[in-house]
Amino acid sequence: MDFQNYINLIPYLLLGACVVGIIVSIRKIKTARRKLVDSENNRTEQVQGEKRILDFLHHLGVSIYQDNTHQKLYEVIVDGVCEVTKAKGGALYLLDEGSDVLRPVYITKGCAQLVPNPITQDPDKVKTKLRMDKVNKHEGILGHALSINSAFATDSLKAHPTFLDQMVHYSGEGAAMIAPLIHADKQIGVLAVTKDEGKNAFSRDALYTFTQVAEQSSFAIGNFDAHDQAAEKKRMEEELENAQEVQRVLLPKEAPKVSGFKFYGYNVAAKRVSGDYYDYTETADDSTGVIIADVSGKGVPAGLIMATFRSALKAISTNFRNPAESLCKLNRMIYPDIRDDMFISAIYAHFHDESGKVTLARAGHNPAYYYSADKKEIHLIKPPGLAVGIDSGDVFDTIIKDHEITMQPSDKLLLYTDGIIEAHNAEKEEFSSARLADIIQDNGMLSAKELGKLILSKVETFVEDAPQSDDITLVVIERK
């Protein structure tokens, strides 16, 4: 081809190049437009996803504020997570406190099977069992989430390694995302969502969103529990304060005015409510009764038993002329209603005007201390007797006996509970009966009130900052 022919082809070659350039440009424009559309779609999806998360958090906050129940919170979490992740169903399992057991607290109707079938093949029983059964936290796909301590997704529950066992039967179909719930570095449960099985059923973005929502759910549950526990503690404190006030009312407001005697009584509980008790009563022989008692145990249960004891004694005290008969009747009244692991020790004494005569009976209680002002010496008074509530009455009535003494002017009779002699210091050393006896021996000439306050002061000094381990009750009686 000669040169002239090449010259003639140049326009065609330029035209072809322009056409190719135009085609390439069009393709680039289409690609750029497609990328722009995809970017816009992704941005829109991202915005919508963020909106769904914000809506979820809003509903979570409203639920906590408006409906202060655990179950409603669980339902809001699972239903909300399903909506955020576009899942078909979901489930929430929580760990029972102090155990390895996951307990289902809410499972939606559309949730795929997350645990193996039970042995029974009854469809209704299978359905109920799968929704109600507790799960060991070390087993199955739920346990797997706790073991790896991280959220994960699976396109097929049935094909997951945790179900590939000859002893496991799995009849469900579905994909799932499962996350451990962690609050304050402590695992509290497992959250799961499911949808129909399929490749990439849950995208990477969906897993990321699910992980974020699971973290917020953990925070909500943990803080709700903490708030609930604080509220419950506050309610219990208020109830204990009320119980303490009621018990304070039940204790004598002042000592009785009895010709020939002076009385000093004191009680302080180791906890809010005391299992110790003292009181002054009327009797059938017109003497003044003094009772001191101690229920085994401390706190509210002991306080309730003591209230029963007090009411029963008030009801019968004017029917009997001596302490032993009263305690026998009291034991038969209380025995049917007292727990096997509880009992009440007591000393009940009748003080007769002017004569100085005292009749007392002891139901398994600490011996009384008697100080003779004339001889300046102390004696233990310990007539036989069994604690109230141990025996139905036949043995109790046989053992218990009345004991009589006649107090002379300035003599002292001291009744007390274990809280005094068993009070211990930081080194776990007990105050002891010996220390109590020494104080009485050295200070027996003080008045009833002075001696009582001195003993309590000595106990307080002895224990220093050690916590009070038992209720303390003390009654000192002085013959004028």
For residue range 301-351, list pLDDT tens digits in order: 777 888 888 889 999 999 999 999 999 999 999 999 888 888 999 999 999
Percent of the chain with pLDDT over 90: 48
Strand 412-416 relative to strand 402-406, pairing: unpaired
Q: What is the fold of 67-220?
A: Beta-Lactamase (3.30.450)
In terms of pLDDT, which residue wins out, 58 or 92? 92
Q: At what angle do helices 448-463 and 432-443 cross, to 10 degrees?
A: 140
- Give the pLDDT score at 239: 57
Residue pLDDT, tens place only, 377-431: 999 999 999 999 999 999 999 999 999 999 999 999 999 999 999 999 999 999 9
Q: Is residue 235 scored above 90 in pLDDT? A: no
Residue pLDDT, tens place only, 29-49: 455 555 544 444 444 444 455
Res. 159 pLDDT band, cuts 50 70 90: confident
In terms of pLDDT, which residue wins out, 398 or 65? 398
For residue 226, what is the enclosing H or E element? helix 204-250
**Can you tell me the mean pLDDT for 227-231?**
69
For residues 219 and 247, the answer to whether their CB atoms sit within 8 Å is: no
Q: What integer best gives the mean pLDDT of the chain?
A: 82
Separation in Å, CA 199 to CA 41, 104, 154, 155, 280 = 22, 28, 9, 6, 83
In terms of pLDDT, which residue wins out, 141 or 48? 141
Res. 18 pLDDT band, cuts 50 70 90: very low
Res. 475 pLDDT band, cuts 50 70 90: very high
In terms of pLDDT, which residue wins out, 185 or 243? 185
Q: Is residue 212 scored above 80 in pLDDT? A: yes
In terms of pLDDT, which residue wins out, 197 or 216? 216
Q: Where are the domains of the chain?
A: 67-220, 249-479
- Give the pLDDT score at 24: 47
For residues 278 and 473, the answer to whether their CB atoms sit within 8 Å is: yes
Q: How far apart are the first and last CA of the chain?
A: 152
For residues 303 and 273, the answer to whether their CB atoms sit within 8 Å is: yes
- Give the pLDDT score at 275: 77
For residues 256 and 282, the answer to whether their CB atoms sit within 8 Å is: no
Res. 130 pLDDT band, cuts 50 70 90: low
b/e per residue 224-237 (b: at least 16 CB within 10 A): bbeeeeeeeeeeee
Q: Is residue 435 scored above 60 in pLDDT? A: yes
Strand 135-136 relative to strand 101-107, pairing: antiparallel
Picking from 53-67, 111-125, 237-251, which range would have the lowest pLDDT averaged per residue?
53-67
- Give the pLDDT score at 38: 47
- Give the pLDDT score at 376: 94
**Can you tell me the mean pLDDT for 119-130?**
56
Picking from 46-60, 98-112, 119-133, 405-419, which range would have the lowest pLDDT averaged per residue?
46-60
For residues 204 and 230, the answer to whether their CB atoms sit within 8 Å is: no
- Give the pLDDT score at 47: 45
- Give the pLDDT score at 478: 97
Residue pLDDT, tens place only, 250-284: 688 899 998 899 999 999 877 766 678 899 999 99
In CATH, 249-479 is 3.60.40.10: yes
Q: How many CB atoms lie within 10 A of CB 58?
A: 11
Q: Is residue 3 scored above 90 in pLDDT? A: no
Q: How many CB atoms lie within 10 A of CB 78?
A: 24
Picking from 11-15, 237-241, 459-463, which range would have the lowest pLDDT averaged per residue?
11-15
- Give the pLDDT score at 101: 92
